[in-house]
Chain A
Amino acid sequence: MGVTTGTMAPALRDSVFTELRTRVRGAGGHLRRNPKLLLGLVMLIALLALGTLGPLVIDTDTARPMSVIPDQPPSREHLFGTESQGRDMLALVVRGIPLTVEIGLIAGAIGLGIGTVLGFIGGYTGGIVDTIIRSAADIMLTVPGLLVLIVVAASIEGLVSVEMIALVVASLAWMFPTRTIRSQVLSLRERPYVEMAKLNGMSGPQIIFRELMPNLLPYLGASFVGAVGSAILAAIGLEALGLGPQNEPTLGMTIYWAIFYSALLRGLWWWWAAPVGVIVILFVSLFLIAAGLDELANPRLRRAES
């Protein structure tokens, strides 16, 4: 199957595998050899630092309406400018990052949690339970998630909180983790060491936690990055349509207000550029981290590139 078969002598193949195994040891080595992962982590950490350390440096009270002079372009006083409701863009962004990341983390964690449980149940037990879980996940995957979320969010009466948006998004964040984890469990289940554990009289949960879980950790990590990313994407989409927490300055809500007040046509570029820039950095960093992790898990891709 592999690139190596047929073109390399088997003994050589073995030596290449030992090579890879040593490579996979030592996280420092990874990062140096994997510029994507490194760059992604640096970008993400910088963003998170802006969100967590920012409030210590700047006055986030200016993220309230009518706290500064509206519609000011970036200046020394207002680094990212101000918008029409009289809010400071830098303060908005600094407040928005943790809120948006919070939505992503809550929704991603719930989605991954449900996905892991369902994936393990389906993959490990098999049979009719597995069929139902697999079909449900597959069917739900083809449905346009954002539209379902729109119906859900639109049907919530009154003001929406950050936590509610996270829960709404989480309701559709479990399918992909379920699918990937199920197929991983399915392939791991057939491994000889699982057979050995069964013969040794280990119980189902014991096998799952002692034998399967440790092997799945890399996949769970990658799935989590993916789940957080798509949760943030869905949340920002909902918010941009005006279905987000109206009183909270999340990044998506800032974009909604920018569209709402036609910032684009009025030439107030800094209004949308700040949240768009932050979101772009956020997604690109998540993308680079995911791609980097993928290359670690699947070294073949590396060859195709450099």
Chain B
Amino acid sequence: MTTATTQTAAATLRVEDLRVQFHTPRGVVRAVDGVSFTLRPGERFGLVGESGSGKSTIALALMRLIKPPGRIAGGRILLEDEDLAALPEDAMRSVRMARIALIPQGAMNSLNPVMRVKQQIIDGILAHERERSGSRNGSRSKRDLEERVAELLESVGLRREVAERYPHELSGGMKQRVCIAIAIALRPSIIIADEPTSALDVVVQRQIMQTLGAVQARLGASVLLIGHDMGLMAQFVDRVGVMYGGKLAEIGPTREIFAEPLHPYTQMLISSLPSFDRETSFVKLAGQPHSPLNPPSGCVFHPRCPRAFEPCPARVPVLREVRPDRFVSCHLYDGAVES
């Protein structure tokens, strides 16, 4: 697992050999099993995979929000050389929202139904500014705060009156914009967007992604976008990581991955996309993901892999840089490692 760390020196976030396990009565589930990747400054990085591949678990792990029976079982999460995985809870709390912000998956239910939008933005701001300044009421007056809330709402394309609304008075898209406003309120260097458009219709999806792109560009933050929709990824991210069975199968620039997917799983994913310029339209993904309780030996993908050969059931493949900036975890490329 050493290769991933060499991806680039300048990284905002470096995840090394991250492991998340869930302890169930039937045994241990390795939801995330040795995942390494980096997030470069100002970059849009995507993680794709089927449900159950561990991508959303990674989002929660990076925020240190894994709840029992799950736990972070190993690895490092380096944010500017500080290991978040080893941070005490108090210190981690001041990292959340201020340095790493989350745009949550369930847009419909992510806001407290009994608090006005305004209060839900302000309480997050105050929680961090109090900590920083040490004083009770912070440096700001109520009026300053409300002005700041209004600006935030306008920056995500909402009217300032939305501040006075309760969540149930807003549409799904508006709620998700409020979540984005909360995420950018403290100008974090990293924004994790966990399937931010999953509950929305297609038109609203596009608008939300545009808003997200705009605020990201303005802040200069890095975005980690998590999703299952390869098409959406292709439009938004610079680089993409493909996850399967709790492991990364492939990482590379989006364009290159679409032009020439290296891992057989990525190939299957991309050929399953409806396409205009390809004749062979819509190949269905063959087979089912394995049971998370007893993963197959060797490469976890080998039972479904059309190109599996002898080493696959025997040895676990390692994620390696097989071409400049292209990382693959597959025995097909064992000989193709660049020095």
Residues of chain A having any CB pair with chain B under 8 Å: 1, 5-12, 15-16, 19
Contact = CB atoms under 8 A, between A and B. Distances in A.
Contacts of B57: 8-9
Interface string B42-85: 00000000011110110010000111001000000000000000
Given A9-B57, A10-B51, A15 B26 contact: yes
B189 to A, nearest CB: 24
Interface in B9-33: 22, 24-26, 29, 31
Contacts of A9: 22, 29, 31, 51-54, 56-57, 292
B106 interface: yes
Residue among A6, A16, A19 with most chain B CB within 10 A:
A6
B31 A12 contact: yes
Tell me whether chain B's interface is mostly helix, strand or loop, or mixed.
loop
A10 B24 CA distance: 14
A15 B51 contact: no
B157 interface: no
A19 B24 contact: yes
Nearest to A7: B67
* Category for how many chain B residues contact A: 20 to 34
Given A5-B106, A7-B70, A11-B289, 5 more contacts: A8-B31, A8-B57, A9-B292, A11-B52, A15-B24
Nearest to B288: A11
Contact of B60 (A7, A15, A16): A7
B283 interface: no
Given A9-B57, A9-B292, A15 B29 contact: yes
B24 A12 contact: yes
Contacts of B52: 9-12
A6 B293 contact: no
A9 B30 CA distance: 10
Contacts of A6: 56, 60, 105-106
B291 interface: yes
A11 B246 CA distance: 11
A19 B25 contact: yes
Contacts of B53: 9
Contacts of A5: 106
B70 A15 contact: no
A15 B24 CA distance: 9
Nearest to A1: B109
A135 B65 CA distance: 44
Interface string B272-299: 0000000000000000010111000000
Minimum-distance CB pairs A-B, first 10: A11-B52, A10-B51, A7-B67, A9-B31, A11-B292, A9-B52, A10-B52, A12-B29, A12-B292, A9-B57
B18 to A, nearest CB: 14
19 contacts: A1-B109, A6-B60, A6-B105, A6-B106, A7-B66, A7-B70, A9-B31, A9-B51, A9-B52, A9-B54, A9-B56, A9-B292, A10-B52, A12-B22, A12-B24, A12-B52, A15-B291, A16-B24, A19-B24
A8 B289 CA distance: 16
Contacts of B293: 15
B335 to A, nearest CB: 33
Contacts of B109: 1
Contacts of B26: 15, 19
A1 B108 CA distance: 11
Contacts of A7: 60, 65-67, 70
B106 A8 contact: no
A232 to B, nearest CB: 37
